[in-house]
Amino acid sequence: MLDVNSGSYRELMRRRPLNVQARFGGEDVALVSGRDVAGAMGEAGAIALAANARNALVIKGVLKAAKRCSAAVYIELAKSESTYCGANYENIPEYAARYSAELGHGVVFALHVDHYGIKGEEDVLKGVSHLQHIISRGFTSVALDASHLPDYQNLCATRDLADWIPSGLGLEVEVGEIKGAGELSTVEEALYFIGGLNAWGVFPDYLAISNGSLHGTYDSSAGVVEGIDLGRTKEIADAIAPYGVAIAQHGISGTPLDKVKAFRSYGIRKGNVATLFQNVVFGLEMDPDTGNAVIRDGSYVKDPSRGVSKALWDRMVEWCDSKGMSRKSGDYKKLNLPFHDAIMEESEDIRDRIVDEVAWWAERFMKAFGAEGTAEKVMEIALRRRDHNASPERKVLGCRADFGPEKAPNSTKSSNGDYSD
């Protein structure tokens, strides 16, 4: 646990990114660059929990666990999630600063723009001003996702938008659409993409790949299984390591904790968890080892002793029924916006049990990830620098001519689906 009254902590406040100092300079919130969190995980051989905050209570629970474990974490939200969640790019920094203060500060975290989807040139142009606004709100890390585009277009779109993100903030990029078991990014694709970005002077911290995971619930009744291929993951991690890039694992909800504990040995340094925390907020029955939502008789199952009250859940189900949704639909995520205020207005005991269960799961992940004590490592890394600027010191290793369209592994993609969260 960091001592907020120590000289080192006071210096850490001066080493925060400029956007954080501009917005929260008078507060002792340890909102740091995603670069520093990535560096700490690399040096510690650990994985940072990256929790998608579809509801603000997730932020409070994750920060509570992070302080208990002295672990650095990411609080994140995907671009698409910002359209159907009450927690959004405008208010997440405020929630995080408030909850950090309630905990007495000393919680080290980054705010991450997850899956900033890019489907073409229009999204790149819109992204220039949109991302600058999000960053001005206090976000300190960005994931650019043009993975559904052909490889050369992915490279160019990612490169072009990355140029408009301050180099001292965290950067994640993606190759290969996340579709589930058997859908695997290749080493060739990863090297072309990361090598090409490097040749243009773009230096990511993380690469997200398609390695067999899914976003959402694994519906065993429909034959859907978790299929993360750690062998392919390690092959890609080893190939891109010379560029200073590690693997970001997406779609961890529903993965057995015993398998999660092994992730550190396969080059994974960031672990995204979204649906599991949503399950906690809703109070769904969950597999205790995976967090996967239980589906029985074609429906999610509500545990009345957990999550939102039974009365509120009945209203939520009625709303979904009115929209024609299956009672085991992934579209239940769309409850997060119309019912956000109602969840936040639940009785104190209901809100507390949600926060406590989020913290319980978050702590389990932090321990499985080997992330205990990484808050101190982040501070150590920040204090090594001359000042606030966390821009990575890396070299360009290749020639741009080697990454033209004629060298791209895949010139087409088979799907235009949206796999952004």
Q: What is the pLDDT of residues 175-212, one digit of tens each?
A: 976 665 667 889 999 999 999 999 999 999 999 998 87
Q: What share of the chain is helix, strand, coil (3-state, %, to 5)?
A: 45, 15, 40
The upper half-sphere exposure of residue 321, i.e. CA atoms within 13 Å in the direction of its Cβ, equals 8
Show the DSSP H helices in 185-227 as ranges: 187-199
Mean pLDDT over each residue of the chain, to the nearest integer: 93
Using the predicted structure, report yes or no on whether residue 141 has a pLDDT greater than 80: yes
pLDDT grade for 411, boundaries at 50, 70 and 90:
low
> Which tokens is 128 given?
């220039």
pLDDT score for 227: 72
> Which tokens is 74 given?
């990411």
Give CA–CA dist 360/367, Å, rounded.
11
Residue 410 dihedral angles phi and psi, to the nearest 5°:
-125, 120
Using the predicted structure, report yes or no on whether residue 328 has a pLDDT greater than 80: yes
Helix, coil or strand: residue 175: strand
pLDDT grade for 221, boundaries at 50, 70 and 90:
low
Architecture of the 7-386 domain: Alpha-Beta Barrel (3.20)
pLDDT score for 211: 87
Helix, coil or strand: residue 421: coil
Minimum mean pLDDT among 20-29, 224-233, 333-342: which range? 224-233
- Please return the burial class of 42, using the count of CB atoms within 10 Å of its CB with bins 0-12, 13-18 and 19+: middle
Smallest CA-to-CA distance from 329 within 299, 356, 353, 361 is with 299
Smallest CA-to-CA distance from 190 within 201, 205, 212, 175 is with 175
pLDDT score for 183: 76
Using the 8-state DSSP alphabet, how is residue 292 labeled?
P
The residue that leads in pLDDT, 224 or 310, is 310
For 271-285, what is the mean pLDDT? 97
The pTM (predicted TM-score) of the whole model is 0.95
pLDDT tens sequence across 53-102: 999 999 999 999 999 999 999 999 999 999 999 999 999 999 999 999 99
Q: What proportion of the chain, given as a percentage, has pLDDT over 90?
A: 89
